[in-house]
Amino acid sequence: MRFFPFRLWMIVLALSLGAGAATAQTQRVVPESKAQIQLSFAPIVRQTNGAVVNVYASRTNRRQNQSMEEFFRRFFGEDVPGLPRGRSQSSLGSGVIVDPSGLVITNNHVIENMNEVKVALADRREFEADIVLRDSRTDIAVLKLKGAANLQAIEIGDSEALQVGDIVLAIGNPFGVGQTVTQGIVSALARTQVGISDYQFFIQTDAAINPGNSGGALINMSGQLVGINTAIYSRSGGSIGIGFAIPSSMVRVVLNSAKGGARNVVRPWLGARLQPVDGDIATGLGLERPTGVLVTSIYDKGPAAEAGLKRGDVILQVDGQPVDNPDSFGYRFTLKGTQGQTPLTVLRNGKQSTIQVRLMPPPEIPPRDPVRGRARTPFAGATLVNISPAVADELQIQVADEGVVIADLDERSVAASVGFEKGDLIVAINGERLVSTRDAERLIERAGRYWEITVNRGGRVFTTVLGR
């Protein structure tokens, strides 16, 4: 509390300067009127707080699938009891109304694995909500309130216009105590390597963000949404002035996908594998400092190959915006959409050039041709599909020329209990290599009590033996 009056005075001074009440100078200036002393964020809060909501999500687990118990008894002679009925989980977070019809943006981790979602408005009305779209890669989810209309919505601003030092407000429901407003500044932009989501590119702020603020609004001084509060860095669980928000530019991408009726966010596909440029690579390439992303491999039928991108090239910019690692490249490239072209600034053999890359979604070639694992096999509850650039992008794995991958997995299935995971590439069954799902179907049908299954998981290949 000792530092609060000084901080408040600095805010008053900054607002006074911005309003033209005093000239820029290094010395402190005494307020000249009562109006200057009473400067407040209240008008912005009144303009926006009705669009910030509380999100309650819950899940009730049901008894374990009996086929799992039968499988274990058959192969291992074990009896696996079912889970108790009625075991429940719950979560509490915040959300933001972005459309008067009742579209709400929140964090995916607030509703992840939940099957019931309710939203409480600032005026205490409550609505059940459908999950329209969830995107774990950006940690954003879109909800639709049932029976809602003509709600107060917030205008989405331009996070690209933010500058370090801009004043922002965070509105949410920390610790479930009720709607709370905190104030701070933009501490940093383009924060990556935070470990929150795949598309790591965050606004950092010192506005107090605590548990329960997740999914809440980060507001600029025009009353516009510039970010969705997502996470904090903390040793104690409370705010220490290091909070992170997803930029509104990425929020808009996810929201537009939801409004277009998509169940998933479709991102542009480069068709190349990238890695950061470290100090040694920068020295070898003659760069003054580590910057850009290094192209390590090219998919021979992708947009990168079509544009003439080569292994060893360094991508420095996407449409004039600098990129320093694969995370920032993924963010900038995703914002360009899946139509038309975008320019990439490339360094090759010490010379910079600009190439135009076609924007397109990853192709689904070959077709998925899904096969569902049948009962009384280790694959019961798993869906196998042919791998393609689209499947690889969806599952966040490296694309392969051919193969069969687990695209879906019931969390309480035999396949999950055996140890399979979504995204596992099934290399071989009982010594026979799989090229397509037709091979998988044939080998699963033919196998008996003994199973020898070779799996590629994130580049690590191992073999599991089941049966006796």
- Is 214 annotated for ligand binding? yes
Give the relative orientation of helices 248-259 and 326-334 as an angle to the nearest 10 degrees. 50
pLDDT tens-digit profile, the chain (468 residues): 333 333 333 333 344 444 444 444 446 677 788 777 777 888 999 999 999 999 988 876 554 444 444 444 444 344 444 434 444 557 788 999 999 999 999 999 999 888 789 999 988 899 999 999 999 888 999 999 999 889 999 999 999 899 999 999 999 887 767 788 999 999 888 756 544 444 467 899 988 887 788 899 999 999 999 999 987 655 555 556 688 899 999 999 999 999 988 888 889 999 999 999 989 988 888 888 899 999 999 988 899 999 999 999 999 999 999 998 888 899 899 999 999 999 999 999 889 999 999 999 999 999 999 999 888 899 999 999 999 999 998 888 888 778 999 999 998 899 999 899 999 999 999 999 999 999 999 998 887 788 999 999 988 999 989 875
Q: Please check whether residues 29 and 50 belong to one and the same domain.
A: no
Question: Which residue in this structure is represented by tokens 């920032």?
Answer: 328
Q: Annotation-wise, does 312 bind a ligand?
A: no
Please name the residue that has the structure tokens 């053999």: 349
| Active site annotation includes 88 | no
| Identity of residue 461 | V
Ramachandran region of residue 380, left (φ > 0), alpha (ψ -120 to 50) or beta? beta
Q: How far apart are CA 298 and CA 302, in angstroms?
A: 8
Rounded Cα gap, residues 103 and 146, in angstroms: 10
Instruction: Report whether 109 belongs to an annotated binding site.
Output: yes
Provide the residue range defining the domain that includes 451: 371-466
Indicate whether 287 and 249 sit together in one domain: no
Task: Evaluate if pTM is beyond 0.85.
Answer: no
Please pick, among 159, 214, 239, 417, the residue that the annotation labels catalytic. Answer: 214
Q: Rounded CA gap, 261 and 218, in Å?
A: 26
Would you state the structure tokens that stand for residue 346, as one six-digit string?
């490339």
Q: What pLDDT shows up at residue 85? A: 44
pLDDT for the residue numbered 76? 39
Examine the domain organization and report whether 80 and 166 are in the same domain.
yes
Number of neighbouring beta carbons within 10 Å of residue 164: 11
Q: What is the DSSP code string of 154-218?
A: PPB--GGG--TT-EEEEEE-GGGS--EEEEEEEEEEEE---SS-SS--EEEE-S---TT-TT-EE
Question: Are 405 and 387 within 8 A, CB to CB?
Answer: yes
Is position 366 within any domain?
no
| Domain end residue (candidates: 358, 380, 397) | 358
Let me know if residue 408 belongs to a domain: yes
Q: H or E stretch including 16? A: helix 4-18
Q: How many residues does the chain have?
A: 468
Q: Are residues 77 and 142 in the same domain?
A: yes
Q: In the prediction, which pLDDT does 207 show?
A: 86
Same domain, 229 and 335: no
- Check which CATH number belongs to the domain holding 83 and give it: 2.40.10.120
Q: What phi, psi does 179 have (nearest 5°)?
A: -60, 130
In terms of domains, do 377 and 281 share one?
Answer: no
pLDDT of 7 reads: 38
Q: Give me 260's structure tokens.
A: 């277009």
Q: Tell me: do 72 and 154 sit in the same domain.
A: yes
109 is catalytic: yes
Among 358, 380, 404, identify where a domain stops: 358
The pLDDT, as a whole number, for residue 232 is 62
For residues 425 and 30, give the distance between their C-alpha atoms in angstroms, rounded to a whole number.
69
Domain assignment present for 60: yes
Same structural domain for residues 245 and 191? yes
Q: Identify whether the C-beta of residue 421 lies closer than 8 Å to the C-beta of residue 414.
A: no
Strands (E) in 69-157, as ranges, are 87-99, 103-107, 116-120, 126-135, 140-145
Asked whether the beta carbons of 127 and 118 are under 8 A apart, the reply is: yes
- The span from the first CA to the last CA of the chain, in angstroms, equals 68
User: Measured between alpha carbons, how far is 251 from 256 in angstroms, rounded to an integer?
Assistant: 9
Distance, in Å, from the CA atom of 40 to the CA atom of 235, rounded to the nearest integer, reads 32
Whether 415 is in a domain gets the answer yes
In a domain, 365, yes or no: no
Total number of domains in the chain: 4
Tell me, yes or no, whether 395 and 279 share the same domain.
no
* Rounded distance between C-alpha atoms, residue 13 and residue 30, angstroms: 9
Please give the radius of gyration of the chain, using alpha carbons only, rounded to the nearest integer.
26
> What CATH number is given to the structural domain containing 376?
2.30.42.10
Prior bond to 366 cis, omega within 30? yes
**Residue 364 resides in a domain:** no
> Does residue 323 form part of some domain?
yes
What span, in angstroms and rounded, lies between the C-alpha atoms of 162 and 265? 25
Question: Same domain for 222 and 194?
Answer: yes
Among this protein's residues, is 139 annotated catalytic?
yes
Of the residues 109, 159, 257, 417, which is catalytic? 109
57 and 190 fall within a common domain: yes
**Which of these is catalytic: 91, 94, 135, 139?**
139
Question: 79 among the known binding-site residues?
Answer: no
Answer with the one of 328, 358, 388 that is the final residue of a domain.
Answer: 358
Same domain, 121 and 258: yes
- Which has the closest alpha carbon to 414: 375, 465, 467, 444? 375
Scan for tokens 């280790």, then name that residue: 378
Residue 125 · residue 118 · CB < 8 Å: no
Distance from C-alpha of 435 to C-alpha of 328, rounded to nearest angstrom: 35
